[in-house]
Chains A and B, each alone.
Chain A
Amino acid sequence: MNLKSFLKLFNISNKNFAKQIGVSAVSLSRYIIGERIPEKKIINKIFNQTNGLVDANDFFIDKKNNEDLSNSDIQEIDSILFNLRKGSRPHLAKAITLVESLLEKDKLRANLLLSKLKENDRSIRIGITGVPGVGKSTIIEALGSFLISSGNKVAVLAIDPSSKQSGGSILGDKTRMEKLSVDKNAYIRPSPNQGHLGGVAKKTFQSIRCLEEFGFNIIFVETMGVGQAETSVYDMVDIFLVLLLPSGGDELQGIKKGIIELADLIVVNKADGGLIKQAELTKNEYTNASQMTSDSRIDLKPNILTCSAVENKGIKEIWNYISKFIKSSKDKKMFYQIRSDQRLKNLWADVDLNISEYMNKNFKTKQYIKDLINKIEKNEVSLTEGSKIIYEYLTKKKFD
C-alpha cells in the first residue's frame, strides 16, 4: 500500500511518522506525493515501521491502474448512493451490478460504495437451499407475499448456476415468483454464480448490504443445494433453511449431507395431495435421526416443519419459527456476535478470492513462473522446492 493510504488508515500524522523514521516533514511529504524516492536506508525504515505494509515497490512502481478514483467516479458513486437511499430501483440494480463486476476499476468503485453503507441489525437475512424442484421459489413466493402483507419489504437474491461449458446461464426465478416479481415492495435479483464457487458468495454478501441500505428488511438468499455456494451462504445469513421433498434418505433427496447439517431449520415441502403422509414420515425420520442434523446455531427445537407452498399451508408456521429464532438469538446476544463473526469470515473469503484471482490472472502468466513450472514438469526442480520458491516470492521474505 502506498504511504499516504497507510498513514490515513492508522491515523498517523505526517509529523509523527517523519519523526519515527528520522526525516524532516518536508521530505516525507515529497515521498508521499511521489516527488522524490527515498534512499534505501529510509525505505528499510519505512518497511519496518509499517510492518512491511509499505515497501520499496510502493515508491518505484507508479500505480496508475487507478488506485485513486477520479472525481467523476466518486460523484457517480455518491449519486448511486443518494438515489438508492431515496428508493430508486434502477440505482439499486446498478449498485448490485457494480458489486458483481469483474472489472478492476469497478471493484474500486464498489469498495467506495460499500465503505459508505451503514450496518443494519434490524434486517433478517434468510438463506434457503434445496435441490431443483423442491419448491424454493414457491416457498419464497408464499412466504414473501405473506410478509409483505404484514408491512415488510422483501428482497430475494437467487444464485443460479452458470454453465461450465459456455459460461452462460438461465435466470428463471421470476417465472416462479409471479406475485413477488410485480410487487413494488419486493425485489428479486437472480445472479449467475459465474463458475467460481466462493466468488459469488462474497458478492452476495455485499449485495445484501446494498439491499438493506435501500430499505429491504427481509432478505432471502436462494441457492441450488448442490453443495457449492451453501457454506458461504450459511456464513452470511441469520438463519439457514434447507428444503426437502417428502421421501426418504439423503441419497434420494440428491442433497449433500453436509448441507443438511448446516440447517437451522429443515422444511419438508409438498406436504399436499397424496404426499401428506410421506411428508410426515420424512419429518419424523429426520427428527429421530439426530445424527443427520446437528444443532442449529442457537439451540431451538424442534427445527423440522412440513409445508405445502402451492396450497399455502404451513407458511405462517415457518415464519413463526424464524421470528422465534431471531428473537431468541437476539435475547441471547448471539445475533450480533454471529454477524460480527460473519463479517470476519467474509473478510477472509474476500482475501482468498483476491489471492486466487491474482494467482490466476497476474501471477501464473509471468514468464519466470512459467519457466519454473516448466522445470518442475521436467522434474528439474522438485515440487517442494518449487512450492517454496513461489511461497517465498509471494510473501517477500527478503526484507526480513
Chain B
Amino acid sequence: MTNNNYKEWKKIAEKELKEKDINELNWDTPEGIRVKPLYTEDDLKKLEHEIGFPGLPPYTRGPRATMYSNRPWTIRQYAGFSTAEESNKFYKEGLRNGVTGLSVAFDLATHRGYDSDHPRVVADVGNAGVAIDSIEDMNTLFLDIPLDKMSVSMTMNGAVIPVLACFIACGEEQGVDKSKLTGTIQNDILKEFMVRNTFIFPPEPSMRIVSDIIEFTSKEMPKFNSISISGYHMQEAGANQVQELAYTLADGKEYVEAALKRGLDIDDFAPRLSFFWSIGMNFFMEIAKMRAARFMWSKIIEEFKPKNPKSLALRTHCQTSGVSLMEQDAYNNIVRTTIEAMAAVMGGTQSLHTNSFDEALALPTTFSARIARNTQLILAEESGINKVIDPMAGSYYVESLTSDIIKQARALIKEVDDVGGMVKAIEMGLPKMRIEESSAKRQARVDSMEETIVGVNKYKPTEKQDINVLSIDNEKVRVKQIKRLKDIKDSRDMNEVNNLLKKITEACRSSELNLLEVCVEAAKKRCTVGEMTEVMEKVFGRHTLSSKTISGVYGKAIKHTEKINKIDVEIEKFIENKGRRPRMLVVKMGQDGHDRGAKLIATAFSDLGFDVDVGPLFQTPEEAAMQAIDNDVHIIGVSTLAAGHKTLVPLLMKSLKNNKASNIKVICGGVIPPKDYDLLYELGVSKVFGPGTNIQEAAIEIINII
C-alpha cells in the first residue's frame, strides 16, 4: 500500500521536476550522509536504534522522564573576563535577569597554569576570560553567590587541579561543604590534545589527573559532574557532526576505562559523566546527533555491566556554534543563534549557552549578552516547545538521520579502536587530521559559494554597520592581578606553603596520593595556581605539540574559477620579479591555542601556491619576529582570537624594527573588533582580515601588499 503511494508520488514529483531525475534532489552532507528529499514510514523499518521512552534505557528520547514538561533546561551563560570583581558583577546581572546556572570562562594564562605575573602571558591576562591566580580571586568571583544553591560549570582542562582546588576551598570558606557543591568541571584533556591545545602536561600524567578528579568527586562530591566530555571544540575546529559525535564518545570510553583501572566501580562515577555539544546550523543533523549520542552512549556503557540504569544515561550541555558567527552583517548572528538554540532544545539538552551576536568581533557587551539570554527565555517561556517531551520522536526524517549518523559514527569509532583507542589515535594525529580535512573542505565550499552564508558570500550588505563592542584594558587587569599576587605572597605562611608544595611533588610521584586532595589544602593556604602547576610541571614536564599541517585538501575541494586562475597568474608574475614564491609565516602568539584558523590559512595558502611557514604555538612576539627573519619571509600573518592583538602586535612590530626587518609586512586575521583596525593600521599593519574572509580574495590582496 505504502509502496504504491510512493510510486505515485514519484511520478508526480518527476513531472514537477520536468523530466529531471528524482535522485538529483538528494543532498550529500559533509558527513557523507545522503539525505533524500522525502522520508516515509518505510524508512522507520530499518533503524539502527530503538526509539523507546524518555527516562528509560537506551535513553534515545532523553535522560529524564518528564524533560522540559516539568522543568526547562538550565540557562547557563558562559562568561568571564577581566578581573574577578568585574566577572562577579556580570554574573549577578545575569542571575537577576533569568540565568539559572553559571559557567566560568578563565583567561588563557590560568588555563595554561601561569600566574598573572609570568612573562609569557603579558597579553593574555584577563582577556578571553577571568584571571584567577589563587583562592582569593575565586572568593571574589563568587562573592554573594552561595555555592550550595548555584550550579557552577567551569571550563578548565589544563590547570584543572589547582583551579578546582581553589573552587572547593572557596566553597569551604563560604561555609559550604564540598559534598553540597553542584556543577561541572570540564576536565576533558583528550580533546585539548586534539583541537584546543590548552594542555599543560603530556598525555600520560594528564590522564592520571583526570582519574584523580573522577575518583575524588565520586567519593566527596556526589552532586558534581566530574567531567564534561566535549565535542564542542571539535566542531569549532571544523569537525563535521559525525566526527564530533564519534570522537567525543571515543574520548568518553577512554575516560571510563581509566577510571575503572583506578579501581572505581562503574556505577560510582558513570552517572556523573556529562557531555558537551556544539550546535551548528544544520538543524536536523544536530537534533539527530544528540539522539544518536544518547543511544550510542548507553550501548557503550552497557558493556561495562552497570547495575544502576542512570549510568547509561547521557546528560549534556550545549552551546550554539561560535564558528557559525560571522563578522560581516553581524546582526544575522542573532537569527543563527536562535535556530541553533532551537535545535539544541529539540535535541533534548540539559543546559544551554547561547552566543552573543558580537562574539565574532569581541567579548559580548551587556546589551548583546541580554539578547542572547532572552533568546533562551523566549524559547522556554513563549514558544510552547517545552510542553511536549521529545517532539521529534518518530519523525521519518529525524529517526532515519539518527540511524545514519549512528552507522557513520560507529565506523569512525571502529577506526579509532583499530589503532588501539583514543590515546593512541591522538598520538598518531588521526582525529586531528580528519578534522582538519573537513575544516579545509568546508572553507573551500564557502569560498567557492557552494555553501551559502548570508551577508558573507551572498547578499552582502552595502552599508557598514557600527557595532559597539566591549574591550578590556588588559594591562590594567595585569597590574591589578600582580599587586594582588604580591599581597597574598606577603601575608601567607611560607613554611606551610613550601611544605604543601613539597607534598604536591610527592603526590605527583606517587599514584597512592590524590593530587586534587593535596591541592585543596594547598589552595586554602594560599598557594597560587602558578605555583601548584610549576611543581607539578617539574615532575610531569610541559607538553609540546608536534603538529602536522595537511595540504592539498583545500586545493582539491575548490572549483577552478577565474579567481583561482588570477591567483596563478599573479604568483607567476611574482616569481618572475622576486625569484621565489610569496613566502608567508603564519603565527599564533600568546597562550591562545585555537589553531583552526591558523591551520586553515596555512593549508589554503599553500594550496594556492604560497610557501607557508608555520610557527609553533604559544610564541612570544620576539620569537615570531626572529622566525620571520631567519626564514626571510615576505609577510607575517598573525592569527588572533583571544583579544591579545592589542598587546602582541605592537611588540611584534617593535621587535621587527629593532632587528632592522621592518621590510617584512604584517597582516592580522581572526576575532578583532573593527574599532581596533585603525590602531593596527597605525602600527604599520598592512591589512586586517575578519572572520568570514574569502581566502582567495585575501590571497590576491596579499600578493599586492608584498
Contact A163 B614 (CB under 8 A): no
Contact A168 B660 (CB under 8 A): no
Separation in Å of the A310 CB from the closest CB of chain B? 9
Separation in Å of the B436 CB from the closest CB of chain A? 12
Contact A169 B616 (CB under 8 A): no
Contact B605 A168 (CB under 8 A): yes
Find chain B residues with CB under 8 A from A100 CB. Answer: 579-580
Residue of A nearest to B575 (CB): A102
Binds B, one of A11-19, A86-94, A232-240, A300-308: A86-94
Separation in Å of the A302 CB from the closest CB of chain B? 29
Distance of A74 Cα from B390 Cα, bound (Å): 79
Find chain B residues with CB under 8 A from A172 CB. Answer: 547-549, 602, 613-614
Separation in Å of the A170 CB from the closest CB of chain B? 5
Contact B608 A90 (CB under 8 A): no
CB contact list, B85-101 vs A, under 8 A: none
Contact B631 A189 (CB under 8 A): yes
B609 interface contact, C-beta 8 A: yes
Residue of B nearest to A95 (CB): B632
Find chain B residues with CB under 8 A from A89 CB. Answer: 626, 629-630
Contact A165 B552 (CB under 8 A): yes
Find chain A residues with CB under 8 A from B478 CB. Answer: none
CB contact list, B570-619 vs A, under 8 A: 571, 575, 578-581, 602-603, 605-617
CB contact list, A150-172 vs B, under 8 A: 162-163, 165-172
Given A170-B606, A192-B581, answer yes or no on A97-B616 (Cβ-Cβ < 8 Å).
no
Contact B575 A171 (CB under 8 A): no
Find chain B residues with CB under 8 A from A133 CB. Answer: 548
Contact A175 B578 (CB under 8 A): no
Q: Which of B546, B547, B548, B611 contacts A168 (CB 8 A)?
A: B611
Contact B608 A168 (CB under 8 A): yes
B661 interface contact, C-beta 8 A: yes
Contact B606 A169 (CB under 8 A): yes
Contact A171 B630 (CB under 8 A): no
Contact A101 B579 (CB under 8 A): yes
Contact A174 B616 (CB under 8 A): yes
Find chain B residues with CB under 8 A from A96 CB. Answer: 632
CB contact list, A179-234 vs B, under 8 A: 181-182, 187-190, 192
- Total cross-chain contacts (CB, 8 A): 109
Distance of A137 Cα from B546 Cα, bound (Å): 9
The winner among A90, A132, A176 for most chain B CB atoms within 10 A is A90
Distance of A169 Cα from B611 Cα, bound (Å): 5
A103 interface contact, C-beta 8 A: yes
Contact B612 A166 (CB under 8 A): no
Contact A168 B616 (CB under 8 A): no
Distance of A395 Cα from B1 Cα, bound (Å): 86
Residue of A nearest to B630 (CB): A93
Find chain B residues with CB under 8 A from A190 CB. Answer: 613, 631
Q: Which of A174, A182, A188 contacts B614 (CB 8 A)?
A: A174
Contact B617 A175 (CB under 8 A): yes
Contact A168 B610 (CB under 8 A): yes
Contact A170 B612 (CB under 8 A): yes
B411 interface contact, C-beta 8 A: no
Separation in Å of the A245 CB from the closest CB of chain B? 12
Find chain A residues with CB under 8 A from B544 CB. Answer: 178
Distance of A93 Cα from B612 Cα, bound (Å): 16
Given A169-B606, A170-B606, answer yes or no on A102-B614 (Cβ-Cβ < 8 Å).
no
B627 interface contact, C-beta 8 A: yes
A293 interface contact, C-beta 8 A: no
Given A102-B575, A175-B545, answer yes or no on A182-B623 (Cβ-Cβ < 8 Å).
yes
Contact A189 B630 (CB under 8 A): yes
Separation in Å of the A89 CB from the closest CB of chain B? 6
Give the interface size bracket for B toward A: 35 or more
Separation in Å of the A24 CB from the closest CB of chain B? 44
Separation in Å of the A134 CB from the closest CB of chain B? 12
Find chain B residues with CB under 8 A from A170 CB. Answer: 549, 551, 602-603, 606, 612, 614
Find chain B residues with CB under 8 A from A103 CB. Answer: 578-579
B555 interface contact, C-beta 8 A: yes
Q: Which of A90, A106, A174 contacts B615 (CB 8 A)?
A: A174
Separation in Å of the A73 CB from the closest CB of chain B? 14
B659 interface contact, C-beta 8 A: yes
Distance of A162 Cα from B611 Cα, bound (Å): 8
Contact A165 B660 (CB under 8 A): no
Distance of A168 Cα from B661 Cα, bound (Å): 24
Contact B631 A167 (CB under 8 A): no
Contact B660 A90 (CB under 8 A): yes
A138 interface contact, C-beta 8 A: yes
Distance of A177 Cα from B568 Cα, bound (Å): 32
Distance of A101 Cα from B575 Cα, bound (Å): 9
The winner among B545, B551, B571, B612 for most chain A CB atoms within 10 A is B551
Find chain A residues with CB under 8 A from B617 CB. Answer: 175
Residue of B nearest to A107 (CB): B579
Find chain A residues with CB under 8 A from B606 CB. Answer: 163, 166, 168-170
Separation in Å of the B418 CB from the closest CB of chain A? 16
Distance of A192 Cα from B623 Cα, bound (Å): 22
Distance of A253 Cα from B287 Cα, bound (Å): 44
Find chain B residues with CB under 8 A from A97 CB. Answer: 580, 632
Separation in Å of the B303 CB from the closest CB of chain A? 24
Contact A174 B613 (CB under 8 A): yes
Contact B631 A90 (CB under 8 A): no
Contact B581 A168 (CB under 8 A): yes
Separation in Å of the B354 CB from the closest CB of chain A? 35
Given A90-B659, A168-B610, A176-B546, answer yes or no on A106-B626 (Cβ-Cβ < 8 Å).
no
Given A174-B616, A178-B616, answer yes or no on A192-B611 (Cβ-Cβ < 8 Å).
yes
Separation in Å of the A193 CB from the closest CB of chain B? 11
Q: Which of A166, A176, A181, A187 contacts B607 (CB 8 A)?
A: A166
Separation in Å of the A243 CB from the closest CB of chain B? 15
Separation in Å of the B574 CB from the closest CB of chain A? 11
Contact A90 B580 (CB under 8 A): no
Contact A187 B630 (CB under 8 A): yes
CB contact list, B605-656 vs A, under 8 A: 605-617, 623, 626-627, 629-632
Find chain B residues with CB under 8 A from A94 CB. Answer: 632
Given A170-B549, A171-B612, A175-B615, answer yes or no on A181-B627 (Cβ-Cβ < 8 Å).
yes
Find chain B residues with CB under 8 A from A187 CB. Answer: 630
Separation in Å of the A343 CB from the closest CB of chain B? 25
Distance of A167 Cα from B608 Cα, bound (Å): 8
Residue of B nearest to A106 (CB): B579
Find chain A residues with CB under 8 A from B659 CB. Answer: 90
Distance of A359 Cα from B614 Cα, bound (Å): 35
Distance of A175 Cα from B585 Cα, bound (Å): 12
Q: Which of B578, B608, B627, B629 contacts A174 (CB 8 A)?
A: B627
Distance of A97 Cα from B582 Cα, bound (Å): 12
Find chain B residues with CB under 8 A from A90 CB. Answer: 629, 632, 659-661
Q: Which of A138, A175, A189, A192 contacts B616 (CB 8 A)?
A: A175
Contact A163 B579 (CB under 8 A): no
Distance of A174 Cα from B629 Cα, bound (Å): 13
Separation in Å of the A46 CB from the closest CB of chain B? 35
Distance of A217 Cα from B300 Cα, bound (Å): 57
Find chain B residues with CB under 8 A from A171 CB. Answer: 611-614, 631
Contact A163 B607 (CB under 8 A): yes
Find chain A residues with CB under 8 A from B612 CB. Answer: 168-171
Find chain B residues with CB under 8 A from A132 CB. Answer: 548
12 new A-B contacts at CB < 8 Å, known A89-B626, A93-B630, A169-B612: A89-B629, A89-B630, A163-B551, A167-B571, A171-B613, A172-B602, A174-B613, A175-B546, A181-B623, A182-B623, A188-B630, A190-B631
Question: 15 A-B contacts, Cβ less than 8 Å apart?
Answer: A89-B629, A90-B659, A93-B630, A93-B632, A94-B632, A100-B579, A106-B579, A132-B548, A163-B555, A163-B607, A168-B608, A172-B614, A176-B547, A181-B616, A192-B581
Report the 7 A-B pairs with minimum CB-CB distance, sorted nearest first: A101-B579, A103-B579, A168-B606, A93-B632, A172-B614, A168-B609, A97-B632
Interface residues of A (CB under 8 A from B): 89-90, 93-94, 96-97, 100-103, 106, 132-133, 137-138, 162-163, 165-172, 174-176, 178, 181-182, 187-190, 192
